[in-house]
Amino acid sequence: MELYNLKHPSQTVSFKEAVQLGLGKDRGLFFPTQIPVLHDIEALLAMPFVERSKKVLGAWLASELGQDMVDQLVERAFNFDLPLVAVDEQRACLELFHGPTLAFKDFGARFMAQCINVFAQDSRLTILTATSGDTGAAVADAFYGLEKVNVVVLYPKGKISELQEKMFTTLGKNIHTVAVASDFDACQHLVKQAFEDSDVRDGLHLNSANSINISRLLAQICYYFEAVAQSKQRHEADPVIAVPSGNFGNLTAGLFAKAMGLPVKRFIAATNANDTVPRYLDSGHWQPNPTQATMSNAMDVSEPSNWPRVEAICEKLGWPLADLVGICLSEAQTSEALVDLYAKGYVSEPHAAIAAKALTLNLVPDEVGIFLGTAHPAKFKDVVDRELALNLPLPPELKAVAHKPILSAELAADFAQLKAHLFAVLS
């Protein structure tokens, strides 16, 4: 597999190199020179999830890694369920929160961890990543205890739910967490500054586990095939898929799946008040506003780093950007969406509820839609309990960390402070 840097197309790398580098020159994203097309889609959709995923990822990676290695990586990473649960006659939720950290990020993080563990040389690597909520837990769990890897997770202090925070800040060992006194965009900027600093990048052998890493995106392609496979068992129509969108890695993976031949009628990018992309799709002007804190905090991103890949896919395939639908919801609409789902007997959380409402606003009578359930409702227990007048029970994964102490360092959004902290903790 060959990839090139979207900012510097002359820089080309293999999949293994892209996974280990994370970012290219000048923070450029790696993008595949070719997107494989799968022809026998009907037969693929009839396969079980893991067996199909071996075929899907093999189309990208078997020429470089060998199919046997791809099979092993998939088997180690994908070992939990992802049911498609009907909400009403038109809408169903693909529940992606049945992994170890109760969020869709488990798919990409676990596959990436398996790749890095296989690719790592003798030197110890440092995974530096920013999280707006669920990435931190998924990455921490996936890499916890691996001898060749240190993990540092930056997150915006006070702007993620307490239970989200507890899932990755209570582990210790090779997992180091930093609460930054700012928002997610500032955390993401600090990560990018670290990759631009040769002392940090080379001295600590940096890699990134954000959705900028191509291994995470490829893994996420697989669950779109599963969504359509389950949908086709109930409806002949190609589904419309609504994706809760923050950093836009999830939508990027969906577009890759469609480019491979997956029959999806259209995608909806569903956002909260941080609506840079819906406004861009409507006006053609890219104008990020200051990040707003919302109850759907994992989507509190004003400058989504994966957007250049979305545009690159559309350009490569000749798809008009206008074919993407962007829908943003206010806090009041998010609350209404949660209540609407609950009235239909389905308990959700704010991010999935936004995508579910986006389907309601966009579907026509003969269409069917899928919205992605990106996190277990209990990870947002405070919001869900408040909005629905409930007292959600905690699943075992959250009960286990609820009363553990947080081990995070606290820093300002200042790169000099972060650099000093990294060398103090990791050297």
Q: Quick: pLDDT tens for 166-194.
A: 999 999 999 999 999 999 889 989 998 99
Residue 337 has pLDDT above 90, yes or no: yes
Residues 197 and 232 in one domain: no
Residue 43 in domain: no
Residues 228 and 89 in one domain: yes
In total, how many domains does the chain have? 2
Residue 122 has pLDDT above 70, yes or no: no
**Are 239 and 231 in contact, with CB atoms under 8 Å apart?**
yes
Q: What is the pLDDT of residue 192?
A: 87
Whichever domain contains 246, its CATH number is 3.40.50.1100
Q: What is the pLDDT of residue 346?
A: 98
Helices (H) and strands (E) in the chain, counts: 18, 14
**Cα angle 338-273-297, degrees, rounded to a multiple of 5:** 65
Q: Can you tell me the mean pLDDT for 331-344?
A: 98
Q: Which of 335, 296, 338, 302 is nearest to 160 (CA)?
A: 296
Residues 225 and 325 in one domain: yes
Residues 376 and 411 in one domain: no
Q: What is the pLDDT of residue 93?
A: 98
Confidence of residue 121 (pLDDT cuts 50, 70, 90): low
Residues 371 and 408 in one domain: no
Residues 284 and 177 in one domain: no
**Are 228 and 262 in contact, with CB atoms under 8 Å apart?**
yes
Q: What is the pLDDT of residue 211?
A: 72
**Are 182 and 189 in contact, with CB atoms under 8 Å apart?**
no
Residue 320 in domain: yes
pTM of the model: 0.90
**Cα angle 252-338-107, degrees, rounded to a multiple of 5:** 35
Measured distance CA(149)–CA(161) in Å, rounded = 27
Residues 247 and 364 in one domain: yes
In the chain, % of residues over pLDDT 90: 85
Q: How many residues are present in the chain?
A: 427
Place of tokens 């998924």: 138
Q: Can you tell me the mean pLDDT for 189-207?
A: 91
Q: Which of 278, 207, 208 is nearest to 242 (CA)?
A: 278
Q: What is residue 375's DSSP assignment? A: B
Q: Which residues of 63-84 are buried (b: 16+ CB within 10 A; e: fewer)?
A: eebeeebbbebbeebbeeebeb
Residue 20 in domain: no
Residues 311 and 246 in one domain: yes
Residue 417 has pLDDT above 90, yes or no: yes
Residue 337 in domain: yes
Residues 369 and 226 in one domain: yes
Residue 48 in domain: no
Higher pLDDT, 264 or 129: 264
* Collapsed DSSP state (helix, strand, coil) of residue 31: strand
Domain that holds residue 373: 81-102+214-388
Residue 100 has pLDDT above 80, yes or no: yes
Q: What is the pairing mode between strands 30-32 and 266-271?
A: unpaired
Residue 422 has pLDDT above 80, yes or no: yes
Q: Distance of alpha carbon 254 from its chain centroid, rounded?
A: 11
Confidence of residue 132 (pLDDT cuts 50, 70, 90): confident
Q: What is the pLDDT of residue 212?
A: 81
Confidence of residue 120 (pLDDT cuts 50, 70, 90): confident
CA dihedral 392, 176, 23, 285 (to 10 degrees): 50
Residues 195 and 218 in one domain: no
- The DSSP line for 256-319 is HHHHTT---SEEEEEE-S--HHHHHHHHS---PPPPPP-SSGGG--SS-TTHHHHHHHHHHHT-
Residues 278 and 192 in one domain: no
Residue 64 in domain: no
Residue 57 in domain: no
Measured distance CA(279)–CA(273) in Å, rounded = 11
Calculate the average pLDDT of the chain: 94
Residues 96 and 243 in one domain: yes
Tell me the pLDDT tens digit for each residue of 282-315.
999 999 999 999 999 889 999 999 999 999 999 9
| Angle between helices 134-143 and 105-119 in degrees, nearest 10 | 40
Residue 394 in domain: no
